[in-house]
Every structure is written in C-alpha cells, then in structure tokens.
Structure 1
Amino acid sequence: MSSIFSNYQDKFIYTIILLIVLFIIRTIIVITVKKIGEKSGTTEARATLIGRYVTVVFVLIAILIEAFILGAETRDITLVFSSVFAVIGVALFAIWSILSNITSGVIMFFSFPYKVGDKIKIHDKDYPLEAIIEDIRAFQIHLREDNGDLVTYPNNLILQKAVTLLQKDALDDSSIL
C-alpha cells in the first residue's frame, strides 16, 4: 500500500488540491447565485437549480483536469471528448427545445423582470394569455388564469413574446380579499 502511495504521491496531492480548489470556487459561485436570487426576489428552488447546473459544469471540468493529472495524452482526451460531444450533440439536436428551455430558464433567473405572484399578459397572436405567475421552473413557467386553469408556458417562448406586467404581486393582493 505504501508503495502505491509513494509511486503516485504527486498525483494524489494534485488531485486533492484540484478538488479543494474547485469546491471552493463552486461554493463561492453558488453563494453568489443565491444572493443574486434573494436580491431579485426569486425562489430558493430556482437558485438551487442554477447551483446544480454549476455543479455539473465543475464536475466535467474536474474530470478533464484529472485526466491530465493522471497522465492522459491530449490526443486521447480530444478523441474521447469529441466522441462524447458528437453523441451529446446528436441527442441535443433531437431534443433541441429542451436545451432551449433550460438555457432560457438560466437567462430568466438572472434577467427576468417578473416574479412569482405578478399578473402578466402574454401577447401571442395564436393564444393570448393573461394570468398570474405561480412558479418559474427549469423548462416552463406555470401561469394561473382567472378562471383557475393552470397553463404551463415554455421558457423559450416567453422570452420571444411581448409581455406586459398588469399587476405586481397579484397573489398577495388576492389573499387580502
């Protein structure tokens, strides 16, 4: 056992340093995202979702750097990643709308001017909609119409349509009555 550690001591140390550095950077980013979420009035669940996205990205970065630490050749890593990205690219092309909705969800976290409880009007020529925002999720936004119907509206579409804020925090106003 000691011969294994002595043979790979540098690699163990570099791996531990890599994990500590990436963990610290990830923690700083997640805390920053949560603070941005609190300032913009978004739910904690949305901030947690963005934190998960950050974690996945850092795991992929850690795998890439760890491959170099363990002595993998650049051409081998290039081959593996190009193969993986080719498969992922085909899969994402097949489910393009899902990727588009996830990306829109991240954009909405940082720059969406409406919050849960706001009453909005979506100016869509095919399906105009006037409703209260109940929840903003990774793929869609949940809207409650005045008649009680729940509408799930894709995130990518709400960023493409004109939206009017009719009443701020409509849920709070309706609970008073």
Structure 2
Amino acid sequence: MEEFLLNHKDELISTLVVFALLLVLKFAFTKAAKKVGKIGDFNPVRTNLIIKYISIALTIVALAGFTLIWGVNYKDLGVLLSSVFAVIGVALFAQWSILSNLTAGVIIFFSFPFKIGNTIKILDKELLDPEQPQGETFTIEDIKAFHLHLRKTNGEILTYPNNMVLQKGVVLISTYDGQVISDVGEA
C-alpha cells in the first residue's frame, strides 16, 4: 500500500483537487439555481430538476478529469470518445425530440416568464377550437422536464411539449394571483 501511495502521489493529489473542485462547483451551482428559483418564484420541483441536471453534468466532467489524471493515453482516449460520441449521436438522433424537450425544459426554467397557475393562450393553429375563434385559454398546472400540463377551460388536461412552447407564441392572460394582464379577446 505504501508503495502504491509513493508511486501515485501526484495522481492522488490531483484526484483530491478535482474532487474538492467538484464539491465547490456543485455547491456554487446549486446555490445559484436555488437563488434563481427563489427570485423567479419557481416551483421547488423545477429547481430540484435543474440541480439534478447540474450534478449529472459535473459528474461527467469529473469522470473525464479523473480519466486524464490516471494516465489514459490521448490516442486511446480519442478512439474511446469518438466511439462513444458515435453511439450517443445515433441514439440522440433517433430520439431528438426527447433531447429537444429536455433542453427546452432547462431554457424554460431560466427564462420562461410564466409560472404555475398563470392563464395563457398559445398561438397555435392546431390548438384552435372552432367554437372559440380567438383561441382557447389554458391554466398552467405543472411544468415538467419534457412538457407542460395545461388545464383547458372545460377542465381537460393537455400535455404540451416544452419545445413547442418555445416555438409558438404564448400570450399571458393573467397571473396565478388573478391579476389580469391582457384581454382574452385580443390576439
């Protein structure tokens, strides 16, 4: 054991530094996400989801750092990474909508001006009800990683993909506390 410690002293110290840096970054990013969530008055479930994404990203970066520290040959690493990215690329291309919804979920967390309880109207031709030519209003019931749960005026729940929310126009009708922002009849 003593021989191992003496032979790999530099690697062990570097590993401890990367691990300490990982903990500091996780703490800082978690605190920042919680602060953004508190300032934006976001649902704690959404904030925790973003914190989970941050943890996963930091873990991947740390694993890459550990791999380099412990002496993986760059040529071998290049072959490994190109193989891994080829497989991941094929998998993500096949599931691009899942990835785009997940990415949109992160964007919505940080920049979406609407919150749970707001009444909105989505400017989407496919959602137009012939009985309501001005468009139907929805109340935001929940914001998930991949989709929004919207309650129609008749009580039905509509699941709407996050990436579509970013692509379509969305009009804020009223806030969750009942403050009317715009008239429903206006387009």
Same structural fold, with TM-score higher than 0.5 when normalized by the shorter chain: yes
C-alpha separation in 2, matches of 1:85 and 1:172: 49
- Evaluate the alpha carbon distance shift between residue 170 and residue 125 of structure 1 in structure 2; reply closer, same or farther with a 3 A threshold: farther
User: In the alignment, what sits opposite 1:161?
Assistant: 168
Q: Which runs of 4+ in 1 moved over 2 A?
A: 170-173
User: In the alignment, what sits opposite 2:145?
Assistant: 138
- Secondary structure, counterpart of 1:28 in structure 2: helix
After TM superposition, the score normalised by the length of structure 2 is 0.88
Q: Which runs of 5+ in 1 are unaligned?
A: none
- Secondary structure, counterpart of 2:121 in structure 1: strand
Q: Which runs of 5+ in 2 are unaligned?
A: 129-135, 181-187
* Pair 1:147-2:129 in alignment: no
Q: What is the Cα deviation at residue 9 of structure 1? A: 2.0
After TM superposition, the score normalised by the length of structure 1 is 0.92
Give yes or no for contact 1:119–1:170 (8 Å, CA) kept in 2: no
- Report 1:11-160 matches (<5 A): 11-128=11-128, 129-160=136-167
Q: What is the Cα deviation at residue 172 of structure 1? A: 9.8
C-alpha separation in 1, matches of 2:138 and 2:116: 11
Query: Residue type of the partner of 2:63?
Result: I
Q: How many residue pairs align between the two structures? A: 173
Give yes or no for contact 1:117–1:172 (8 Å, CA) kept in 2: no
More helix by share: 1
User: In the alignment, what sits opposite 2:132?
Assistant: none
Note the alpha carbon deviations across 1:69-113, whole angstroms, 9 max, x for none: 111111111111111111011000000000000010011011101
The share of aligned pairs that are identical, in percent, is 42
C-alpha separation in 1, matches of 2:169 and 2:143: 17
Note the alpha carbon deviations across 1:51-70, whole angstroms, 9 max, x for none: 11111111111111111111
- Secondary structure, counterpart of 1:169 in structure 2: coil
Q: What is the Cα deviation at residue 160 of structure 1? A: 0.7
Deviates more, 1:10-19 or 1:152-161: 10-19
Query: Residue type of the partner of 2:175?
Result: K
